Structure 1
Amino acid sequence: MERHSLPDDEAPNSIRGRRPRRRNVLIATALVLSLAAGTGIAAGSGLLSFGDDCAGSAVRIDLAASPDIAPAVRAVAENARRNDVTSDGRCIDVQVEARENHEIADDLATGTAAPEYEVWLPDSDVWVERALDAEDGITLTPAGNAASTPVALAVIPSAGTRLGWPGKTYTWAELTAMTTGDDPIRLGAADPARSATGLLGFSSVVASTREADPDGDARIAATAETLATRVSGSDDLVVGSLAQGPTDNGEGNQALFLTEQAAFTHNSADGASDLQLFYPTDAAPVLDYPLNLVDEAELTTDESRAAMRFISLLNEKGAQRTMAEHGFRTAHSSVAPGLVRAAGGRAPQPYALTKAQPPTTDMVKESLGMWTVTVQSARLTVVVDTSASMAGPVPGRDGESRMDVTKASMLQTLKGFTPADEVGLWDFAAGLDGTKDFRKLAETAPLGERAKDGATHRESLSDAVSELAPVSSGSAATGMYETTLAAFKEAQASYVSGKCNAVVLLTGGPDTDGAARTTLADELRKLADPRRPVPLIAIAVGPEADRDEVHEIAKITGGAGYEVSDPADIQAVMIEAIMSLGGSER
């Protein structure tokens, strides 16, 4: 996902160079591709037997496709059935089902059930990367691309007039600057956590703003906060959020992150108001519609060959014409002015720009994390080591202990949370509370919530942090594993949808209980649920703590381990870790 180029720059039907994650798929893919190509040549030369009745011998292939491209792929599949297209002499029966991209990516990453489809066609490599990032997920074999479409900024005509469409061109930063401040243009998008269009659009804003101003994070946050008030749950819903003429009363969106294909579809509908497209000059992210065989090792030879026969068919001229009729760009022609005009683009808008530098993979992940933090309130259970290991002095801190500096850093971090953010506090050490290694000192609750005595939860929590102290015994045993499992279970059981749920673990020493570690890892693998994600942010404080150890545990939950030599750095690490959650590996 390092480049999201326009089709003039790289043909969409080329085999992508994605690195296989869990097994070597190159030989198998090459063999299947050569067989499929051979089948296509034989069909073209009349060497295959095309019977009139295929019902009894057809090879069925189920294909899960992004909702926007599913109608075009379904049309190709229906045409293939009508024409008795075959693989190895047997007709292929491809059934196309429209499925939400983010749902399938999470299902494949979890790998808890066998998929009910042999081919997956999402709208972007964003979802493929998410599915492949999980170590125990379902394997995917790349098999080319079906089409592409650029992400642009669509505006209603009144907004286009204000912005000088089509004659005036902008960067992403310049366009979105018009959506904040006095008399802003109302900008909406599909949720970047669920939409590649929304995510790539927002990532382009982040990259463009930082290019213009390295200290532009405040402007980025302002854009995210503004966008968050006008976000739609899916790509299908976002166009419906547009302002509807003079009766709108200022409620509907005037501009959207939208693909060229979605604008084409909208503008082609009967009675639709024409959208106008701005193609920013500094980036051209595209949806690239990658084709993937799903769990190829489990496919029969007939299924593999039939799937690749259909994939090769999608890249033939007839099928690509069907794609173009549905508003997609293809590998078989240059950018069609008719398509662009129907979608709302006009020269001098740079709709054929090929030299842009769209967001990198790292930028996309960071942007998703930033979006998560900006849009969603945090719900954190903070678990602090109070074993004897935290009593050790911090070099260069005038005799202050790790616990002293940790508490000061935590109190400073609390000041940065909003009243809607929820934070709870536990402490732990081996045998801290009778048979348990942990205590719950403060419930996870909104910081602005007031108790009966009038004190806010923030005030009560600050008092509890200030009172943290290492245990007086000489043992440095932490009881970390038992505590981590208990905190994770409670955080997952009390999960709040729409918030950034996480467990933050601060530990100053190792836990030497190997059996407890194995139990923790096994239990976390069973409990981790991408639909109710509770990532573990594990921060190793000081030289005795083992960052690699806590990272191995944390990544099972979708989180990560960090290391700080000076507890004063905890605040910066916590902020970095929370911001990374939205784009973390799953």
Structure 2
Amino acid sequence: MPDDSAPQGTGSPRTRRRTVVLATAVLVIAATGSVVALRGGLLPFGASCDGDSVRLEVIASPDIAPALNAVADKAREDAVRTDGRCLDVKINARPSSEVADSLGQRPANPDFQVWVPDSDLWVNQVTDNRGSSLTAVGAVASSPLALGTVHDAAKTLGWPGKTYSWTALTRAASGGALRLGVADPARSATGLLALARIDAADRKETDSGDEAATRTAATAKLLYERVADGDDQVLATLPRNDSGAEQGNPRRNQALLLSEQAAYAHNTSGDAGPALDLFYPTDGTAQLTYPYTLVDEDSLTADQSRAANRFMTLLDDTSGQQTLRDHGFRAGNGSADPPLTGKAGGRAPQPFAAAPADPPTSKELQALLGMWTITVQSARITTAVDASPSMALPVPGQGGRSRMDLAKDSLLQALSTFTPEDEIGLWKFATNLDGDRDYVELSPTSRLGDRGPGGGTHRDDLTAAFSSLAPVSHGATGLYDTTLAAYQQARATYASGKFNALVVVTDGADDDAAGIGLDTLVTDLKRLADPKRPVPLVAVGIGPRADRSALARIAAPTGGSAHRVDDPSQIHEVILKAIMAAGSRGPH
């Protein structure tokens, strides 16, 4: 039996993971040998608990926590045992984004053994950030994303007979005819995965990456007009009743991007307001996956590991799956359940049974979060790029292309993600580029949509300035003098209501003998930094000569971050990730 097959304290992590996979099959076999099972205290019927129990602490996404709690309560009522001791599972509900933030800090020191977030993306976020050790064992449930609308709005869109792609659906729902709400993609897997599907649809419909990014950013702008902090908050924006006053209330949304399970819970609650009808996109939906995740598996005791395995078998068995369905969840494999879908508001010919689209990669999600941050807040960012002679060095494996060549391409790619409302500028630096000054402003930090002296936009002028970047033939790296001057200007020209930042890109350490030192620069930055008017400094070092420790000291007083890349083509990804991290700390 899975709970009695080895003495306490034995079994490797790999053996324990294999036990989880095999547990359901073993339970079926056990039906023919109940006498043996009773001796081991595995089956739920038998002696009641006498206080000798194993406690398992579980943190779960708030939407699935009630279902998990129902399974845990039944286990206690039935005196379900693990290794001869009663199984006592305590479920606590916490938003997945909050848990991911906590586990991403090392050491996280969690006081729970199992985490069930609503999506794998949170597990990947912790892993990518090198946070706590997590082992995702398998999905206990799933739920596809859809557009839920009140009935009058659904009729306007042609429900249920008319079907839409992601692009057509969001256009129809956000084009002014309907009030469309969404949970903040920075805090909600539903919001972020929906945005990822919109972006994928935009890219499929156009041959231009820049055009697709612009279209996605425009949609993000529209979504932000009615964004809510989280999933519970966005559901609270629906009308409370069928009265004309509520339906016409401009503060109430008529449509939401949400999960099928959220619509099911809304429609079956009886007191949540008018029922929702669901539109399922024709070009593949995203889905929430609810991975059953062991937290720091190697530190679990044998009792905790067995209890975690036992609880997952309860979620996987017929009774557990029925409990999950009763709460509006599909099975972990995503297979459709027509009666469930009907209660949630889905009806044929809506493609509710279609297979979900391939999930986005972690890199794609990071780029989207960066785009969301700079799009919804608008940004004012000055970029200072190293033009010292070492930037002419070729990058191995890139066909002779130099660090500067790849850096320019990457920065131009980052530029394409900004909207006409964003303000972007460009400096270059080495030593003595303008008399005694180590820097030159190539393009002022201005609104990208503004017209320039030549009749084109500032974006056009800035693109030309980026393209013109070239290493100087002699000189050194005047990093510290340039950083101080650029930061002073960024502080002096701070734009309220925007995300303000300074980005410095360099491939070496400061070697300007006539310039200020590191200690002086850090002291000056501490004096200039103002939490009420924050300007985080994002420092990106290229290659092995970049002084990561010095860059980290420079960025720290400003609330920014330091990064090192070996491949300059990664610069735009690093910048967007850093902007997202700084921007998610709150409006600036």
**TM-score normalised by structure 2 residue count:** 0.69
Partners in 2 of 1:179 and 1:315 — Cα distance? 37
Match of 1:536 among 535, 538, 541: 538
Say if 1:191 and 1:234, in contact at 8 Å, map to a contact too. Answer: yes
Distance 1:560 1:260, change over 3 A: farther
Say if 1:388 and 1:476, in contact at 8 Å, map to a contact too. Answer: yes
Matched, 1:109 2:104: yes
Say if 1:365 and 1:582, in contact at 8 Å, map to a contact too. Answer: no
Match of 1:335 in 2: 336
Secondary structure in 1 aligned to 2:278? strand
Match of 2:318 in 1: 317
Say if 1:263 and 1:344, in contact at 8 Å, map to a contact too. Answer: yes
Matched, 1:79 2:74: yes
- Per-residue Cα deviation, 1:484-527 (whole angstroms, up to 9, x for no partner): 89999xx99xx9999656552222544589xx99xx9xxxxxxx
Distance 1:307 1:151, change over 3 A: same
Partners in 1 of 2:535 and 2:36 — Cα distance? 50
Secondary structure in 2 aligned to 1:138? coil
Match of 2:17 in 1: 29
Residue 373 of structure 1 deviates from its aligned partner by 2.4
Match of 1:398 in 2: none
Partners in 1 of 2:20 and 2:431 — Cα distance? 57
Bigger mean CA offset, 208-217 vs 497-506: 497-506
Distance 1:113 1:536, change over 3 A: same
Say if 2:284 and 2:355, in contact at 8 Å, map to a contact too. Answer: no
Partners in 1 of 2:482 and 2:79 — Cα distance? 62
Residue 314 of structure 1 deviates from its aligned partner by 1.0
Residue 279 of structure 1 deviates from its aligned partner by 0.7
Residue 209 of structure 1 deviates from its aligned partner by 2.1
Match of 1:126 in 2: 121
- Per-residue Cα deviation, 1:129-174 (whole angstroms, up to 9, x for no partner): 1011023x11011221111110011111121111100011111111
Distance 1:335 1:538, change over 3 A: same
Secondary structure in 1 aligned to 2:50? coil
Aligned amino acid, residue 152 of structure 1: A
Say if 2:118 and 2:189, in contact at 8 Å, map to a contact too. Answer: yes
Matched, 1:298 2:299: yes
Distance 1:264 1:116, change over 3 A: same
Q: What aligned pairs does 1:37-186 form with structure 2 within 5 A after superposition? A: 41=30, 45-49=37-41, 50-55=46-51, 57-135=52-130, 137-181=131-175, 183-186=176-179
Aligned amino acid, residue 285 of structure 1: A
- Per-residue Cα deviation, 1:282-313 (whole angstroms, up to 9, x for no partner): 11211010011101111111111111111111
Say if 1:119 and 1:292, in contact at 8 Å, map to a contact too. Answer: yes
Q: What aligned pairs does 1:468-547 form with structure 2 within 5 A after superposition? A: 476=476, 478=478, 503-507=502-506, 509-510=508-509, 536-538=538-540, 540=542, 546=543
- Per-residue Cα deviation, 1:316-370 (whole angstroms, up to 9, x for no partner): 1111111011000125995222211111111111111127455455543433332
Q: 5+ unaligned residues in a row in structure 2: which ranges? A: 1-11, 394-403, 449-457, 522-533
Match of 1:434 in 2: none
Say if 1:313 and 1:319, in contact at 8 Å, map to a contact too. Answer: yes
Root-mean-square deviation (CA), in Å?
5.2
Partners in 1 of 2:293 and 2:237 — Cα distance? 32
Partners in 1 of 2:537 and 2:312 — Cα distance? 37
Residue 213 of structure 1 deviates from its aligned partner by 2.4
Partners in 2 of 1:159 and 1:334 — Cα distance? 28
Match of 1:188 in 2: 181
Secondary structure in 1 aligned to 2:202? helix
Say if 1:154 and 1:256, in contact at 8 Å, map to a contact too. Answer: yes
Aligned amino acid, residue 185 of structure 1: L
Say if 2:69 and 2:91, in contact at 8 Å, map to a contact too. Answer: yes
Secondary structure in 2 aligned to 1:123? coil
Distance 1:268 1:373, change over 3 A: same
Bigger mean CA offset, 217-226 vs 283-292: 217-226
Match of 1:250 in 2: 250
Match of 1:239 in 2: 235
Match of 1:199 in 2: 192
Partners in 2 of 1:414 and 1:171 — Cα distance? 25
Secondary structure in 1 aligned to 2:102? helix
Say if 1:141 and 1:294, in contact at 8 Å, map to a contact too. Answer: yes
Match of 2:270 in 1: 270
Residue 82 of structure 1 deviates from its aligned partner by 1.2
Say if 2:507 and 2:545, in contact at 8 Å, map to a contact too. Answer: no
Residue 416 of structure 1 deviates from its aligned partner by 6.8
Aligned amino acid, residue 561 of structure 1: V
Q: 5+ unaligned residues in a row in structure 1: which ranges? A: 1-23, 393-401, 431-436, 449-457, 521-531, 541-545, 565-571
Secondary structure in 1 aligned to 2:40? coil
Say if 2:196 and 2:365, in contact at 8 Å, map to a contact too. Answer: yes
- Per-residue Cα deviation, 1:394-422 (whole angstroms, up to 9, x for no partner): xxxxxxxx9xx99xx99x97997767759
Distance 1:510 1:224, change over 3 A: same
Match of 1:561 among 557, 560, 565: 565
Partners in 1 of 2:535 and 2:340 — Cα distance? 41
Residue 426 of structure 1 deviates from its aligned partner by 11
Bigger mean CA offset, 166-175 vs 202-211: 202-211
Matched, 1:261 2:253: no
Partners in 2 of 1:146 and 1:356 — Cα distance? 19
**TM-score normalised by structure 1 residue count:** 0.70
Partners in 2 of 1:222 and 1:240 — Cα distance? 25
Residue 223 of structure 1 deviates from its aligned partner by 1.1
Say if 1:371 and 1:582, in contact at 8 Å, map to a contact too. Answer: no
Secondary structure in 2 aligned to 1:372? helix
Say if 1:280 and 1:350, in contact at 8 Å, map to a contact too. Answer: yes
Partners in 2 of 1:502 and 1:241 — Cα distance? 33
Residue 219 of structure 1 deviates from its aligned partner by 2.7
Match of 1:433 in 2: none
Distance 1:180 1:219, change over 3 A: farther
Secondary structure in 1 aligned to 2:161? coil
Partners in 1 of 2:297 and 2:325 — Cα distance? 29
Partners in 2 of 1:45 and 1:428 — Cα distance? 76
Distance 1:415 1:267, change over 3 A: closer
Greater relative contact order, per chain length (Cα 8 Å cut-off, separation 6+): 1
Secondary structure in 1 aligned to 2:293? strand
Distance 1:292 1:483, change over 3 A: farther
Distance 1:83 1:203, change over 3 A: same
Match of 1:227 in 2: 223
Distance 1:200 1:178, change over 3 A: same
Say if 1:224 and 1:375, in contact at 8 Å, map to a contact too. Answer: yes
Residue 265 of structure 1 deviates from its aligned partner by 0.5
Partners in 1 of 2:256 and 2:115 — Cα distance? 27
- Per-residue Cα deviation, 1:51-80 (whole angstroms, up to 9, x for no partner): 42332x211111000010001101111111
Aligned amino acid, residue 235 of structure 1: D
Secondary structure in 2 aligned to 1:200? helix
Partners in 1 of 2:50 and 2:496 — Cα distance? 48
Distance 1:446 1:62, change over 3 A: farther
Partners in 2 of 1:29 and 1:52 — Cα distance? 29
- Per-residue Cα deviation, 1:31-62 (whole angstroms, up to 9, x for no partner): 5666897689479832224542332x211111
Say if 1:535 and 1:559, in contact at 8 Å, map to a contact too. Answer: no
Partners in 1 of 2:54 and 2:382 — Cα distance? 52
The aligned length equals 498
Bigger mean CA offset, 183-192 vs 223-232: 183-192
